[in-house]
Structure 1
Amino acid sequence: MKFTARARGWRIAAVALTAALALSGCAAEAPAASSGSGEGPVSGGTLTFGRAASVTDLDLHQQITANNAFAIDKIFEPLVSFDADGKIIAWLADYEVSGDGLTYTFTLHDGVKFSDGTEVTPEDVVFSITRHLEMEGSPLPIEAPVDTIEATGDREITITLKSAYTPFLSELAGFSNGVLPKDFGGANEAEFFKSPVGTGPWVLDEWDPNGDLSFVKNEHYWQDGKPYLDGLVYKFVADPTQLQQQLVAGQVDAVEQVPAANSAEVGGNAALQLIEAAGWSADQVFFNTLNEHFADEHVRRAIAHAIDRDGIAQATGFGTSEVANALVPTAIEYSANDQGYGLAYDVDAAKAELAKSKFADGFATTLAIRNDRPEFAQIAQIVQEQLAAIDIDVTIESLDYAVFKERVYANLDYDFMLNNGQADAPDPNGIISFQTDVTGFSKSYWTSFSDPEVNKLVEQGRTTADGPEREKIYFKIQKLLAEKAPFIPLSFPANLQGTTASVHDYTLLPNGSVRFQDAWIAQ
């Protein structure tokens, strides 16, 4: 079977906890990406994970938001994955790539089974990836120019590309390329995703799409002895203040996000642990280039000069955020953050740029923000004050996230906005494509921005082998984007999660997910 490539995406971060947290306790050193212990793992017990959004859909080829993605990746696993440092690693299969970069051969590990005990076959892999390739409107489609995918041995799958495509393994490592049984194991498709069968460490037990979800351990998991826990519960607590209080009280064992404002307090409480890891996300200002004001590059550049990114990072990151001077987060290869591409904070330069525009005397506009991200309200107030210095009168419009998605994503009905994006995999192509491809799922992250030179370089980046030449391409892309300013990266926030002190080997991945197959609770 032959396939046509489509644009892949950049998952939108869907949830953020939003409360002030008053904690006390003796100072304790906060672990980094993984909490560990001198003891050996203890089997048994159930870990309760507090989340601010419920799981609504488990179809891996039709979902993009964190609330669903980070349940899907507990059930379905891809052929390759990435570790806590963002390095691509073999997962369900070992792999080899031909010298010309066109042929990828995967060999399934011996004895990999689905959670119902049946063996995983190459035909299952072919079915899974083919479904993804053929899924119209998938928010995270495979963009690689796949020519054929075939079962070529008892445990072997061969994928052939029409042309070299360097990010292919990175794309395959995303949650949306998990393996499911051929023909859904004989089940009706809709029914299958209500009680899915996969290779992951967890099996769906009970699920309320408007409430909690519980997993039990996969007794047939291919990693011997894992998971150590008997169960994993996703506890839905819509009120972020209550969610934080439940962590302090030990009513949940972990929470999906700790606000930066509370990170020091969590890390300083001896009964808790702050889990911190470098992330693949960026908080940004985005311009609707269909708007008459923001279609003008000089206006966008003026605003970029007028915004103090350093000040915003200090005011809202509390030492956990890194100032963004380029689009690609520093935890992803070929980030140009240290190249000085971001337009410097300079009010005089901002006024000079605005004077070159059609709106030299200033104008009034509206900044849309999501009300589920309290730091966005603070950032918006800073932006409002700083743009007033160049005669741009900003009204802040705080929207419920459901309304925000409808207005911005569905209808492009906004002037400019604050938002955050989260990469799914460690290659810069994903982020770059999602924010520059106007024909893709997100319409250049809903900015409608398009530039022929950037588009040409993006294509070159996809086909150039990793190394200095590819780095030059991505540096040039990031420099052009900083100059044209269809969006302004503000900061790269760290991934921050919290657990009780009894939780061990809790490994936080750079996309914000935790697999939980290694986690255990001291009894």
Structure 2
Amino acid sequence: MRRKLALLRALVMVGFAMLAGCGSGDAGKPEALGNTQAERTGAGAELRLATTWPYPFHGNPFGPGGVGGAWWLIYEPFAHYIPATEQYVPRLAKEWSVEGQAVRVTLRDGVKLSDGTPFTSDDVVSTVTMIQALWSWPYEIEAVEAPDSLTVVFHLRSDVDPNAFLYTLLTNAAIPALAPKALYDRFLPQAEEVARLGKEIFAQESAGETVDAAKKSAYEDKLKALKKAIDAYQPFKDAGNVPSVGAYLPKRVTQTDFVLERNPHHWEAGTSTVSRIVFRNWSSNEFVWGALVANELDAAHPLMPKDVVEGMAAQNPALRVMSVSDLSDVALLFNFRKPLFQDDALRKAIAFVLDRDKVRDISAWQARSYEGEPATGILASAAGRYLPESEKDKLTPYRHDPAQAENLLREAGYQKDGSRWKTPQGAPVRFTVSVYGPHNDWVLAAREVVEELKRFGFDVDLKLIPEGMRDQVILGGDFEAAIDFGSAWWGFPHPATGFDRLYRGDVAKATGFPADEPSPLLAGASPSKLAAELLKNPTGDDAPEKIVALARLTHEALPVVPLYEKVLPIYYNTSRFAGWPEDHDPLWTLAPGGIERVYVVLAMSGQLQPKTK
């Protein structure tokens, strides 16, 4: 431990040295940070963060690396969704409505691009055309029209549920204004043809039809030509700007610093308290930590060892930390294609063998352990909102209880031969736990899981999945048991998303769980069918009942054993700004998937107030 601390301190000192200077020339010289009272207060206040970006910086969102971590500063969605309150907060949109297979969006009046020209529905149509052409997404949108300058109507495919797609449509910043018409007009004829062909091919393949080879070839040739033309477009390099509707615009970009200045035409410019945001290059967690301690950053989210964070107050009393759910579980997945794991008793016994607290402490100490909790597929941080206590009390919690595990196995016919367990058929309980090698925290979790299972009497080995092979191994079902993501609420943060992943999505593909078979726990319905119904209408009158039913099934069927819920630790510095949200503020739950959204809201709304000396 002493060597570990010494190494960490050395790395932090290297971080300090990097902050002091990084060689000669603009490409390596850090941006001079504002230190005068005028630069630290009022309209001149500067917020200091950390991220990564492509360099040389081209400013083309469709180019290699896009705009890096400045995405949520340069671009803006129709709305933000706050998971803690389950409410949308309008941004570029004023209002919206679902009308059959269409979604009508009314734009916020008075929004302008950074060059002062009005942002209109034509810019949205242009953007959808470009992203469908270049990214083959979102094909859920069959057509988009602009009946007037402030109205956009998205016509969705007949097999797309508008309510289920609404979250993506409203909250993804790529859809409204990534490619304003005036800037991309010269590319639109090509893009319209590529998008049309792409959607036709997608529709044919979705219907199980064979696509003509000549049509595919024509599509690929036209897409290649469009990409070549787009890659040559470098607005920041050629013109020194990236016109957009976002809150902040790139001003100066080097290898070490990314400087953005407030968009003077932004619709919130009048309430903003931060005129400039400076990103430092996130070269390592240790560098970022050193910058936080040295008061050179106002906020960041590095992953640091427990002993270092516990000494935070002594290193810098102005630092604060709070954690929010990262909207995913790390779990032990079972492969139901293997006869061994088709036995409920064995899976439940394993759930009682594991010490989740110990796995969490070794792997991701700030995470939320599932020790003593039911395995419902509902994230622990949100269980109180979706699983009534009266229903939770009906479920036997899984906790480290080797005696209970042994009872379950013996009742099912398992026997011990010396210190090793054998199946009712007399074969050793032997399997391998696979884990993706590059994910160090997962590897630590897997090693602890393997050791605990071996101590209990199972023959278990660890197998590392090589870099770049994770999807092939996990989604291809080429494993026996594995450490990977279990339930995850990415996209739409709701139990419906987690159950869809478990019974229709990636986890279902990985585990081979018989999700299409009727279950007596679901009154004869299949898990996949009920999950699909819930995803289609996650806020309907019968949604709470479906959530409880799927939670009960997940706990009893145990397709995965959740180990801990991942969290995002956020460190913020109170030395230069007041107005940081309280720990319980729902705004923090906007952080997963784009913490910069939180910083933009704080900076542009005026909540973040610069301190004066």
Are 1:185 and 2:258 counterparts?
A: no
Which sits farther off after the overlay, 332-341 or 269-278?
332-341
Moved more, 217-226 or 505-514: 505-514
Distance in 2 between residues matched to 1:379 and 1:60, nearest whole Å: 37
Bigger CA drift: 341-350 or 490-499? 341-350
Aligned to 1:514: 596
Counterpart in 1 of 2:496? Answer: 429
CA offset at residue 185 of structure 1?
2.8
Q: Which residue of 1 aligns with 2:318?
A: 272
| 1:6-45 matches, cutoff 5 A | 42-45=42-45
**Which amino acid is the alignment partner of residue 511 of structure 1?**
P
Which has the greater radius of gyration? 2
- The whole-number CA distance in structure 2 between the counterparts of 1:148 and 1:354 is 60
* Range moving further from structure 2, 334-343 or 267-276: 334-343
Match of 2:350 among 285, 296, 303: 303
Give the structure 1 partner of residue 297 of structure 2: 252
1:418 to 2:472 alignment = no
Which amino acid counterpart does residue 384 of structure 1 have in structure 2? Answer: V
Map Cα deviations across residues 213-252 of structure 1 (whole Å, 9 max, x no partner): 4433222222133653333333334432333223212333
- Indicate the residue corresponding to 1:451 in structure 2: 515
Q: What whole-Å deviation, never above 9, does each CA across 1:461-515 have from its counterpart, x for those lacking one?
A: 1333614411222333333333343332222243311122224445642425133
Could you say if the C-alpha distance between residues 372 and 337 of structure 1 is closer, same or farther in structure 2, counting changes exceeding 3 Å? Answer: farther
Contact 1:179 1:198 in 2 (8 A): yes
Q: How does 1:340-489 map to 2 (within 5 A)?
A: 344-345=398-399, 346-348=404-406, 351=409, 355=414, 361-371=428-438, 373-374=440-441, 376-396=442-462, 402-403=467-468, 405=470, 408=473, 415-420=480-485, 423-438=490-505, 442=506, 444=508, 446-447=510-511, 449=513, 451-452=515-516, 453-464=526-537, 466-489=539-562
Bigger Cα displacement from structure 2, 103-112 vs 312-321: 312-321
The one-letter code matched in structure 2 to 1:273 is: L
> Does structure 2 conserve the Cα–Cα contact (< 8 Å) formed by 1:260 and 1:320?
no
Task: Indicate the RMSD between aligned Cα atoms, in angstroms.
Answer: 4.4
Instruction: Report deviation, 1:122.
Output: 1.0
1:30 is aligned to none
Q: Report what 2:275 is aligned to.
A: 230
Tell which deviates more after alignment, 358-367 or 458-467. 358-367
Structure 1 range deviating more: 248-257 or 150-159:
248-257
Q: One-letter code of the match for 1:460?
A: E
Please name the residue that 2:247 is paired with. Answer: 201
Instruction: Calculate the TM-score normalised by the size of structure 2.
Output: 0.64
1:319 deviation in Å?
A: 6.8
Q: How many residues of Structure 1 are paired with residues of Structure 2 in the alignment?
A: 475
Kindly state the Cα deviation for residue 92 of structure 1 after the two structures are TM-superposed.
0.8
User: Could you tell which deviates more after superposition, 391-400 or 102-111?
Assistant: 391-400
Where structure 1 has 5 or more consecutive residues not aligned to the other structure, the ranges are 1-18, 24-39
Question: What is the match of residue 287 of structure 2?
Answer: 242
Paired position in structure 1 for 2:49: 49
CA distance in 2, matches of 1:84, 1:268: 34
- Which residue identity lines up with residue 174 of structure 1 in the other structure? N
Instruction: Spell out, residue by residue over 1:127-160, the C-alpha distance to the aligned partner (whole angstroms, 9 max, x if none).
Output: 334555666665xx57xx6555321222012234
Report SS of the residue matched to 1:511. Answer: coil
Assess, with a 3 A threshold, how the Cα gap between structure 1 residues 399 and 306 changes in structure 2: closer, same or farther: same
Q: In 1, distance between residues paired with 2:111 and 2:431?
A: 60
Q: Give the partner amino acid of 2:231.
A: A
Sequence identity percentage: 17
Unaligned segments of structure 2, at least 5 residues: 1-6, 13-39, 188-228, 237-241, 415-422, 517-525, 582-587
Q: Find the aligned partners of 1:447 and 1:59 in 2 and give their Cα distance.
A: 39
Distance between the aligned counterparts of 1:395 and 1:422, measured in 2?
30
- Match status 1:170 vs 2:236: no
1:389-433 superposed Cα distances (whole Å, 9 cap, x missing partner): 443344445678x55657657876655443455624433333333
How far off is 1:123 after superposition? Answer: 2.0
| Pair 1:414–1:234, CA change in 2 (3 A) | farther
Residues 128 and 481 (structure 1), Cα distance of their counterparts in 2 relative to 1, 3 Å cut: farther
Give the structure-1-normalised TM-score. Answer: 0.73
Cα distance change of structure 1 residues 359 and 178 upon mapping to structure 2, 3 Å threshold: farther
Q: How big is the shift at 1:456? A: 0.8
**Equivalent AA in structure 2 for residue 306 of structure 1:** V
Asked whether the equivalents of residues 205 and 216 of structure 1 are also in contact (C-alpha less than 8 Å), the reply is yes
User: Do 2:433 and 2:450's aligned partners in 1 also have CA atoms closer than 8 Å?
Assistant: no
In 2, are the aligned partners of 1:50 and 1:235 still within 8 Å (CA)? yes
1:78 to 1:248, Cα distance in 2 relative to 1, 3 A: same
Q: What's the CA shift for 1:362?
A: 1.3
Q: CA deviation at 1:292?
A: 3.7
Deviations 1:48-90 (A, max 9, x none): 3234x65699887999x9x988532222211121247352222
Name the stretch that deviates more: 307-316 or 227-236. 307-316
Within 1, Cα distance between the matches of 2:174 and 2:413? 43
Distance 1:286 1:465, change over 3 A: closer
Mark the CA change 1:464 to 1:308 in structure 2 (over 3 Å): closer, same or farther. same
Structure 1 counterpart of 2:149, from 124, 146, 154:
154
Rounded Cα–Cα distance in structure 2 between residues aligned with 1:457 and 1:267: 49
Q: Does the 8 A contact of 1:107 with 1:157 survive in 2?
A: yes
1:284 maps to 330
- In proportion to residue count, which structure has more helix? 2
Contact map agreement 1:328 1:431 (CA 8 A) in 2: yes
